[in-house]
Amino acid sequence: MTSQTTRSANPTVSRVRLERRLEQPRWLQIMSPIILLGVALLFGAVLLRMVGANPWAVYSRMAGLAFGDAYGWSDTTLKATPLILAGLGVSLAFRMRLWNIGAEGQLFIGAWFATGVALHLLPETTPQPLMLLVMAVAGFVGGALWGGIPGVLKARLNVNEIITSLMLNYVAIFWNNYFIYGPWSQRGFGLSPQFPRTAWLPRFTDYAEQFPFLRGITAHFGIFLALILAIVLWWVLRQTKWGFEIRVLGDNPQAANYAGINIVRNTVLIMMLSGGLAGLAGMSEVAGVVHRLQERFSPGYGFTAIIVAWLAKLNPLAIVLVSYLFAGLLVGGDAIQPAGIAQMLQGVILFVMVGGEMLLQYRVRFGQV
């Protein structure tokens, strides 16, 4: 990495070097996200000023929309749910250094499986808990199968999983489109019929009769699934032998091989689990929010999950936190129009945070050659 050098005006005298820190100081590890967020917001403020907006008004309105009241939290939770689920899936694969960037496709296939159960496999009269359970299992299995394809190809034939998982995203989306315009279509439009009520994930607002303060809180119970899975995953990775194996596999496959850890089996298994979690995100979206399969029901959650997982440094509990921040950023984006400005702002904040994280791993050295 020392190849990242730049020459100053006088090449013979000095050069500026970027050097990787061997160890990040503890304070930097804790403070870095806060510092970076500050820098990002400052940078965004300059941009807002340039287009003629009042940065303070925009920021306070964004924060208000996302976290200002119970409705804001509800909206943010709604968006955080798929991000947490897909983020957990992505982080699991990343931990083993398997670059699964196919979460979006796995999410679509999960949704497709769940839709198949709700509309075609089980009758409308199925009790709600059973219906939802089967849908969740189907969503997980669907995502797992889709994630398993690059997994098997990687494990058996050493095919690059970045390419295969990325390409399968498009296959999944077209697969989905075929069904919603064809066999599962309602009137040839890009959507399936609505699910029966038994296939709807309960929303908080559904309990407004008993608990009036829940009225208008449209977040659904998928968030519980997401939180429970985050904790389970955190525990598994931290406390179990298998969790340790995955980390060793990621850090040093050769050592893992010597230690008798089965690489082939774990590669396939991890990719399937990773895909399954993304598939659950798809199931929770169609059952909790859209209540039918439709075109573009995911505005790229599977891709966003990759950034979430990375900013959270692959820690399952941090993924919950980062997903909420991220969801808040997306929800707050409605605070300002045209939408291009909000998107630019989101981009700037993300880019500074991701890029800054990298720079903080290095230190700048001035000195003679």
Q: In what order do the strands lie in the sheet with 362-367?
A: 5-7, 15-20, 362-367
Stretch of 138-146, 254-262, 292-300, 316-324 lying at the interface with other proteins (CB under 8 A): 292-300
Binding test (CB under 8 A) with other proteins, winner from 213, 299, 363, 369: 299
Residue 104 near other proteins by CB under 8 A = no
Residue 1 near other proteins by CB under 8 A = yes
Rg (CA), the chain: 23
Binding test (CB under 8 A) with other proteins, winner from 337, 364, 367, 368: 337
Q: How far apart are CA 314 and CA 330, in angstroms?
A: 21
Binding test (CB under 8 A) with other proteins, winner from 18, 37, 39, 53: 53
Residue 71 near other proteins by CB under 8 A = yes
Q: How far apart are CA 328 and CA 253, in angstroms?
A: 38
Binding test (CB under 8 A) with other proteins, winner from 36, 66, 78, 226: 78
Binding test (CB under 8 A) with other proteins, winner from 358, 366, 367, 368: 358
Is the link from the previous residue into 338 a cis peptide, with omega within 30 of 0? Answer: yes
Residue 22 near other proteins by CB under 8 A = no
Q: How far apart are CA 265 and CA 89, in angstroms?
A: 18
Q: How far apart are CA 294 and CA 36, in angstroms?
A: 37
Locate 61 and state its tokens: 């309105």
* Cα distance between the two ends of the chain: 16
Nearer to other proteins, 53 or 145 (CB): 53
Stretch of 94-102, 121-129, 254-262, 267-275 lying at the interface with other proteins (CB under 8 A): 94-102
Stretch of 32-40, 121-129, 134-142, 344-352 lying at the interface with other proteins (CB under 8 A): 344-352
Q: How far apart are CA 238 and CA 337, in angstroms?
A: 44
Q: CB within 8 A of 115, min separation 6: which ones?
A: 184, 192, 195, 286, 292, 293
Nearer to other proteins, 71 or 242 (CB): 71
Q: How far is the CB of 338 from other proteins (least distance, A)?
A: 4
Nearer to other proteins, 178 or 235 (CB): 178
Cβ atoms 309, 91 nearer than 8 A: yes
Q: CB within 8 A of 154, min separation 6: which ones?
A: 98, 160, 161, 164, 267, 271
Q: How far is the CB of 19 from other proteins (least distance, A)?
A: 13
- List the beta bridge partners of residue 203: 220
Q: How far apart are CA 344 and CA 358, in angstroms?
A: 21
Using the Cα atoms of residue 289, residue 291, residue 296 and residue 298 in order, give the sign of their dihedral.
Answer: positive
Over the window 179 to 218, marking each residue x when it contacts other proteins by CB under 8 A and - when it does not, the resulting string is --xx----xxxxx--x---------------------x-x
**Binding residue count for other proteins, defined by CB under 8 A:** 65
Stretch of 237-245, 257-265, 317-325, 341-349 lying at the interface with other proteins (CB under 8 A): 341-349
What part of residues 217-246 is at the interface with other proteins (CB under 8 A)?
218
Using the Cα atoms of residue 196, residue 198, residue 200 and residue 203 in order, give the sign of their dihedral.
Answer: positive
Residue 263 near other proteins by CB under 8 A = no
Q: Which residues bind other proteins (CB under 8 A)?
A: 1, 48, 51-54, 57-58, 61, 65, 71, 75, 78-79, 94, 97, 99, 101, 162, 181-182, 187-191, 194, 216, 218, 285, 289-292, 294-300, 303-304, 306-307, 310, 331, 334-341, 343-344, 346-347, 350-351, 354-355, 358, 361
